[in-house]
Amino acid sequence: MSYRKPVIKSPNQKSPKQRSGVIAALDIGTSKIACLIAEHDGTTGLIVKGIGQHASEGMRQGEVVDIEALSSAVGKTVEAAESMAGMTINHVWVSVAGGTQMSQLRRQQTDIASGEVTTRDIIRLHRNDLDEQEAEGRVVLHRLPLQYAVDGVKGIKDPLTMSGRSLSADLAVVTASEGTLNNLRTVVERNHLKVERFASSSYVSGLSSLVEDEKDLGATVIDLGAGVTGIAIFMEGHLVYVDSIPVGGHHVTSDIARGLSTPLDEAERTKSLHGSVLTAIGDTDELITLPMVGEDPSDTPQQIELGLLGEIIRPRVEEIFEMLTRRLELNGFANAAGQRVVLVGGASQLQGMTDYVATMFGRAVRHGKPIGITGMADATRGPSFSAAAGLLRFASVEQELEPHREHDRSDKSGMLSRITHWFNTHI
């Protein structure tokens, strides 16, 4: 079944290169799908030309559970963005929130053949990591160089032309489930689109919402989605840690629906309008009215104290952050991310969330929103569009040095060109 009209190309028309010109970002979430189409002219930066969003169907806890329903929703989202932009697209950059994302720090080492570091030494170093055997069913999303060392001297950003006998590099490697990526690719390709790259939702949210000082001094980005909560830690300008748990805002909604015996759509509306992490029974005399599951519309709806809603919300939010805290402690990052926490994702907008997280983590907390992108509509400037905006930034600037196993490692000239370009734009 086709869910979006194919783009008809002439025989001589080549697929567009997404790192310049038109860039399309597709954020496929559990509750919402967003598509941003932007142009990058290399001078004025990213300018958004088209925006599309649609309710997500066929996703649960960041995983595809109904390919047909999700394909249809993606098609409608992309068509809306194309209509607004007045153009069609062939390639998209896709964010990944699920896939049980994990990260690890790896070190690679090689001898310096001539006594002076050359680009080919760096190629050889990164080939070593490409040859690492990933766990079964895992695929590398990101392979990010953090620092280099020559003869044990660490903290080197650019080792080219340095003298020594041994060159090493510390890398942050983020992996995800191969099955998750394959299912998302199928959904995209059913709409006659090609996936240019997948990217971690938490990572790209940090790219769009953190200022440079926050990245340098250390910051933790917490991406509170409907089905998944992700976390990304930045230190000294680099991503150093990514993780995720399959619990999010939709679980809060389900708790409200069960606790108050009200329909899910009414529970979501009530959460958005009246929900707070901090409200408790006795804090206010305010009452809210909502229907009960299965009741006749003519029946008198129930009235509950506003504080009761907070008592239902808070335990689930506590569970989410306790799970994140345990993950950080287990991996040695509990006290390693500076003094700033930035909240993104739709569920982060629950009332009282910043105050609650500030108390729990003992750090300054703010909401993140897209920074430095022109043309974003007012409705898309909030935390729920951080991932989509971050994809645009990720696509427009070469963030990584040779991250893909899919590249042909025998293509020395191509690899040399990509590494040279990375150094020219980052060092």
Q: Which residue has the tokens 């917490």?
A: 222
Is the domain of 347 the same as that of 229? yes
Sequence-distant (6+) residues with CB within 8 A of 244 are: 62, 97, 98, 99, 100, 101, 202, 228, 229, 230, 231
Query: What is the mean predicted confidence (pLDDT) over 210-223?
Result: 93
Sign of CA dihedral 296, 298, 300, 303: positive
Is the domain of 235 the same as that of 294? yes
Q: Which of 346, 370, 394 is the last residue of a domain?
A: 370
Q: Which residue has the tokens 């009282």?
A: 352
Q: 183-209 pLDDT, tens per residue?
A: 999 999 999 999 999 999 999 999 999
Q: 285-338 pLDDT, tens per residue?
A: 889 999 888 766 666 788 999 999 999 999 999 999 999 999 999 888 877 666
Range of the domain at 141: 102-174+408-426
Task: Assign 6 a pLDDT band (cuts: 50, 70, 90).
Answer: low
Position 78 in a domain = no
Is the domain of 360 the same as that of 415? no
Q: Which amino acid is it at 366?
A: R
Q: How many domains does the chain have?
A: 2
Position 77 in a domain = no
Give me the long-range contacts of 289-298 (CB less than 8 A, separation at least 24). Answer: 290/260, 290/262, 290/266, 291/262, 291/263, 291/266, 292/260, 292/261, 292/262, 293/257, 293/261, 293/262, 293/263
Position 73 in a domain = no
Is the domain of 353 the same as that of 215? yes
Is the domain of 237 the same as that of 109? no
In Å, how far are 81, 250, 253, 290 from 265, measured between CA atoms?
A: 26, 11, 9, 11
Q: What's the confidence (pLDDT) of residue 334? A: 79
Is the domain of 232 the same as that of 142? no
Position 288 in a domain = yes
Is the domain of 245 the same as that of 321? yes
C-alpha 102/C-alpha 243 separation (Å) is: 5
Query: What is the mean predicted confidence (pLDDT) over 71-95?
Result: 97
Position 217 in a domain = yes
DSSP H helical segments within 332-411, as ranges?
Answer: 353-361, 386-396
Residue 423: exposed, middle, or buried by beta-carbon count in 10 A (0-12, 13-18, 19+)? middle
Sequence-distant (6+) residues with CB within 8 A of 411 are: none
Is the domain of 322 the same as that of 412? no
Position 70 in a domain = no
Q: How many alpha carbons fall within 13 Å on the CB side of residue 138?
A: 16
* Average pLDDT of every residue of the chain: 87
Here the CATH number for the domain that contains residue 157 is 3.30.1490.110
Is the domain of 260 the same as that of 358? yes
C-alpha 406/C-alpha 308 separation (Å) is: 53
Here the CATH number for the domain that contains residue 343 is 3.30.420.40
C-alpha 94/C-alpha 223 separation (Å) is: 16
Is the domain of 258 the same as that of 117? no
Give this prediction's pTM: 0.87
Position 387 in a domain = no
Is the domain of 252 the same as that of 304? yes
The answer to whether 239 and 210 are in contact (CB under 8 A) is no
Is the domain of 158 the same as that of 215? no
Task: Assign 149 a pLDDT band (cuts: 50, 70, 90).
Answer: very high
Q: 101-129 pLDDT, tens per residue?
A: 999 999 999 999 899 999 999 989 888 99
C-alpha 268/C-alpha 21 separation (Å) is: 39
The answer to whether 401 and 238 are in contact (CB under 8 A) is no
The answer to whether 317 and 252 are in contact (CB under 8 A) is yes
Position 394 in a domain = no
